Structure 1
Amino acid sequence: MKVLLVDDEQPARAELRWALARVEPDLHVGEAANAAEALRELRSGGYDAVFLDVRMPGLSGLQLAELLAELPQRPLVVFVTAYAEHAVRAFELEAADYLVKPVDEARVARTVARMHRLLAEARPTGRAARRLWVELDNENLKPLDLAGVAWFEAREKKVYAHAPGGPYRVDQTLKQLEEWLPPAFVRVHKSAIVNLEHVAEVVPWFSGTYRIRLKDGATVRMSRRHAAGFWKAGGGR
């Protein structure tokens, strides 16, 4: 499991890191001193959970938790604070748990156990992805509705989402996208994932390969290696 500690006070991060290490020595732990640093870390993906301090300069932990709900792969959120009065709002934000400083090792152990259980429960069906954060030309970010994405393409070591107004640059690799995208998105080539809802027809090509024609007129290659998975996902052949 990979977790991110977000607290503007380094001693508080060190205390929590120590408690986590005592509970689960193999835990991968990252750190951020504020919301901006946390978002930069989380945009790269791969974090299962975030331990958030409620009161921080700039965006508070509660405000950051609201932003995290829009991430393509939303991590579990555990609030860590000296102010117990925020507990109600924390659970309104669907927090996995709420720890009161100074943290207690036994209490942290229960939190980690709860996180493992929640992640295990989510894993069989996957989390319901609905939006993806994409980059605009001015480097600002915008949420993109996945229903409008026809396909994802990897080229020149970058990944793009093809949707109206795009293509849009995304931070995730195709492998990372495969792990959380809804079942309608299927890998068809080492450099492409298509949305089955946008497929118009499939045309046989050479040596067991195919060309997928999308409703917007785009054509995507399907390799022989990925053809079986495509037919299985699409219910064909």
Structure 2
Amino acid sequence: MNIAICDDEPIFLKQLHRKLTDMKIPDCQVHEFSNGRDLLGFFVKGMYEVIILDVEMPEMNGLQVAERIRQIDDSVIISFMTNYLEFAVEGYEVGAFRYILKKQPDYMYEKQLNSIITECEQRFRTFTFSNKNLQEVYYFDR
């Protein structure tokens, strides 16, 4: 699983990275970006399963970054982190999955991050199987 986190405040960027690392998600890579332009310059479709964006950033805010990402990739899970609730409605207009407040108790971070990871596992789950005697597959569903 590849996760991008983008926040102009280094303390929140490192804090979120640490929380994701502490979750011990198998085969997980977390990439940090301090602004939306750097993220967009690096981003290609399918690169990330999850992107967590700060809403308020200089030059290009998280909502603008999310709009550009949606033009490229409509399947990536986007969540927002911010200090302010008033941007929630706008966040959901770009298909945000979660809206995380920066200053909240750790158990809430864990709950919200777990829900994002669970959604990712359900949305991007793949199944691998091998059977030399298998001639046809009629139906396969998660």
- TM-score by structure 1 length? 0.47
Query: Which AA in structure 1 matches 2:57?
Result: M
Shift of 1:102: 2.4
Shift of 1:72: 3.8
Partner of 2:22: 22
Does the C-alpha gap of structure 1 residues 16 and 104 become closer, same or farther in structure 2, counting only changes over 3 Å? farther
Query: Which AA in structure 2 matches 1:81?
Result: T
Task: Say which structure is richer in helix.
Answer: 2
Mark the runs of 5 or more structure 1 residues left unpaired by the alignment: 126-237
User: RCO greater where, 1 or 2, for CA within 8 Å and sep 6 or more?
Assistant: 2
Partner of 1:7: 7
Partner of 1:39: 40
Partner of 1:75: 76
CA distance in 2, matches of 1:11, 1:22: 16
Please show how residues 90-109 of structure 1 align to structure 2 within 5 Å: 90-109=91-110
Q: What SS is found at the alignment partner of 2:56?
A: coil
Partner of 2:130: none
CA distance in 2, matches of 1:92, 1:73: 13
| Alignment check: 8 A CA contact 2:5 2:30 kept | yes
CA distance in 1, matches of 2:96, 2:45: 21
Query: Which AA in structure 2 matches 1:50?
Result: I
Shift of 1:118: 2.5
Mark the runs of 5 or more structure 2 residues left unpaired by the alignment: 127-142
Query: Size of the alignment, in residue pairs?
Result: 126
Q: Supply the RMSD in Å over aligned alpha carbons.
A: 2.4
Query: Which AA in structure 2 matches 1:23?
Result: M
